[in-house]
Structures are given as structure tokens and as C-alpha cells.
Amino acid sequence: MNGLSVHFEGVSKIYPHFTLDNLALELPTGTIMGLIGANGAGKSTTIRILMGLVHQDQGRVRVLGREMPREQAPAKLDIGYVSEDMRLYGSATLAWHMKFIRSIYPQWNQPYAETLLRRFDLKPQQRIKGLSHGQRVKAALLLALARRPRLLVLDEPTTGLDPVARQEVLAELMAVLADEDRTILFSSHNTLDVEQISDQITFIDRGRIIASDNKEMFLDRWRRLRLALLPGAVLPRLPGVVEVGGSGRLPILVTDRFDPAMVAVCNDAGATVQAVDPMTLEEIFVANVHSRREKQTV
Amino acid sequence: MHSGIVISQADGRPMYLQIIEQIRQRIAVGDWPPGKELPSIRELAVMLRVSVITVKRAYLELERDGIILTQQGKGSIVAPDPGLGAKLYDQELSRHIGRVAELGELLGLTPRELASRVREAADRMTKEYS
């Protein structure tokens, strides 16, 4: 199936101290989207609206073709959701939880669940309260993955995991994508994870989506240019400049609309291009947030 | 299946370029002979734990350069050109020579001086292997 697994149109939610403002979001089936934002930016609210846990004041939300929150019950049969505030029963074992979930979801895949137990190095007889944070995250993920949901929604899945557990989780998420009918949306403030596995990236800040695009576009368009001005030369006007730094004769520009032709434009204007640096997603995110916030305060 | 391709987070270059370079090398040295089937885009993405879109981009560029052939619905193969390995080395050489010329100009060397430096390097190479 092709099409959109998640579709937000003009979605708003107003709280006394926080507003989610006119969100538009499209997640094509078979892809991974990473939602990046600072703490309190609106990532979790967005995810809760998607899950029907919070009702939007305005706008339309469709998930796997179902209207949310109205059709959340049938939609949730096909959605796997893992978040930090989702509690498992401390005094029950992982095996008990597996049996419980299996009794609710007919698509539960027991052989896959057992494979995941081995891959995540989890023991089914162990009680949840005896598990470390990383083991708990992996247990919750196992319970969601073994249902083989068409859409996986993960709120900060890698936060607080050690490097080994993180790689195990990322590998398992990629394995899900081997099936092109399945889709993942995850939020993170770890931009490295998002940069590694996401196809689509959405930046969210202060309740607004400030950018949403495919990852290669992001990484291609953002560049840092280090220039050296010849005596008497002035900085040429370039498209998409979001930041100007450096010192007088050695300016540093950040642009979100880089084009290789810019190098010639600069050189002709007496601003020798010393280097054109690609930027990491983290640098792009931070530059993006800063430039938007500056515009807002002006 | 193991692809043998590694993606380094410490490598400053974009991930798709790392993939392109390693596939080119495999083909250049003959590990992946002409006509060999490549893993599908999704398979390679899962193996490398990188996004599908990154691998797709690498394949598109390799295809544009005539190094691989992609048939709709059938996947990709190494271009069935027996001279491909040599061609890749030749492209690599051209790139390096271009760089040599740039550096030569920066240092103010004449073409003749530059040529003699290249000859010296080639002579050293021959001596080492004789």
C-alpha cells in the first residue's frame, strides 16, 4: 500500500501555557520520520494527538486512514506505541505481559517475540521492577514490535539507553522497515539517531513545525561557508543566509539554500571561499531554531 | 548476507557518499564483478542501519555514473561492462591528477616541473616493487 500513514491538517491545541499551532504533517507509508525538538517543544503533545490520547481543538488527524480521535479503537489495533510514561506492572513478569498482550492482539507473533527476547537479551521470568531502565525500554518495545503493527509510534525510544542497547534498538527499528508497508514515527532529541535512520525529518519548536523535509534535502541544502574578504570587498548577498558569524575579514555564513554556483559568486565578489562545510543534523537544527526565534522577537 | 560496507559516524562525509565510495571500490577491485546483483535498497538500508532514502540516493548516483543498472521491479546489478573496474580506477586517477594540477598552480609550478614530480613518484614506485 502506498499513501500516507499519518496525515495532520491544520491541527491546533491550546493549553494555558502552551499552544500547538496549526500543525501540518505527512508521513508516507514505508518510511521513518524523526521528530526533533527541544524539551517542551511539542513533540509529545503531537504524538498524543496522533494516538487519540489528547483531542485536538482544531484540524483533522488521519492515522492509517482512520479519523482521530473518533476511530481510535480500530486504528490502535494496527499501531504500536511506546513512550516513557507507559508503565508496565512492576510485580508481574515480562512473560505475563507477553501473554496479556497476546490475548488482546490477534496478530501477535510468538516466534518473533522469542527472537526479540534473545536479541534484546531479556529473560521472560524476570519481574518488571527488577529490570534496569534500558531493559524496561526494550521490554516495552518487544511488546509493541511482536504485534507487527503497521505503524510504530515511539516517544524518545533511545533516551537513557547505553550504547549497546541503543544500537540494538536502532537495528530492530530498521528491521521493521524491511517490510515496505510498515511505517515508524519517532521523537528524539538525539539527532544522531534521527540522522542515521530517518527518511523524513521534522523540526518542531515552540509548538510549531519549523521545517519538515526528506533527510537528504536537509543535509544537502544546509552549508557553512567560511570566507576571506579581500581588502575593500563586501559580503555578497546570498540566498537563504540564516546566520552570519566570524570576524570582519573572515566571515562565516550559514545558508539553508546552498547551491554550488554560490562559490563562484563569492569568489567573483572578492570573498574567497576557504571552505564549504556540510553540517550535522544537530547543527542544522540549532541554527534553524535560532534564526526562527530571532525572527519572532523582531 | 553481509555487505561488508561500513558507515562511520566519525567520517565527516555524508553517509550516501561513504556508501558510493565503498561500492565503487568493491567494483574496482573486482569483488563485485559486472552483472552481480546488488542488495535491494531496502535490504542494504536494513543491513547498514541507515535510512532507505540515503541508500536510494547512493544507488541513483551510481546509476547516473553508469556503474550500476537498475531495472524497475528487478533490482540493481553491477553494469555488465567488463572494463568497468579499469574505468573506475581511471576516473579515480583523473580526480587525483586534477587535484595535483590545482596544488601545482597554488605553488606556482610550471607544467614541466609538475610532470617531473609525477615522474619521480612513478620511478620511486617502480623501484619499490622491483
> Any residues with CB less than 8 A from the CB of B77 and at least 6 apart, and which?
B35, B36, B37, B38, B68, B69
Burial class (CB in 10 A: 0-12, 13-18, 19+), A286: middle
Show residues of chain B in contact with A216, CB under 8 Å. Answer: 16, 53-54, 57
- A151 vs chain B: nearest CA distance in angstroms? 17
**For A115, left (φ over 0), alpha (ψ -120 to 50), or beta?**
alpha
Cis upstream peptide for B34 (omega within 30°): no
- The answer to whether A31 contacts chain B (CB < 8 Å) is yes
Which residues of chain B from 19 to 48 reach within 8 Å of chain A, CB to CB?
A: 42-43, 45-46
Q: Show the domains of chain A with their CATH numbers.
A: 4-218 (3.40.50.300), 223-278 (no CATH)
A208-214/B75-78 β-pairing: unpaired
pLDDT of residue A298: 55
Q: What is the pLDDT of residues A81-136, one digit of tens each?
A: 998 777 889 999 999 999 999 999 989 999 999 999 999 999 999 999 999 988 99
**For A243, left (φ over 0), alpha (ψ -120 to 50), or beta?**
beta
Number of H helices and E strands in chain A, helices first, is 10, 14
Residue contact B53–A192, C-beta within 8 A: no
Q: What is the pLDDT of residues A197-241, one digit of tens each?
A: 999 999 999 999 999 999 988 888 999 999 999 888 888 888 889
Chain A residue nearest residue B7, CA to CA: A196
Asked if pLDDT for residue A35 goes beyond 60, the answer is yes
Show residues of chain A in contact with B61, CB under 8 Å. Answer: none
Q: What is the pLDDT of residues A165-191, one digit of tens each?
A: 888 888 899 988 888 889 999 998 888
- Mean pLDDT, residues A236-259: 89
pLDDT of residue B2: 59
The helix (H) or strand (E) run that includes residue A282 is helix A281-297
Q: pLDDT category, A1, cuts 50, 70, 90?
A: very low
Which residues of chain B from 64 to 123 reach within 8 Å of chain A, CB to CB?
A: none
Q: Show the domains of chain B with their CATH numbers.
A: 15-78 (1.10.10.10), 84-129 (no CATH)
- B103 vs chain A: nearest CA distance in angstroms? 15
ipTM of the complex: 0.73
Residue contact A177–B53, C-beta within 8 A: no
Asked if pLDDT for residue A51 goes beyond 70, the answer is yes
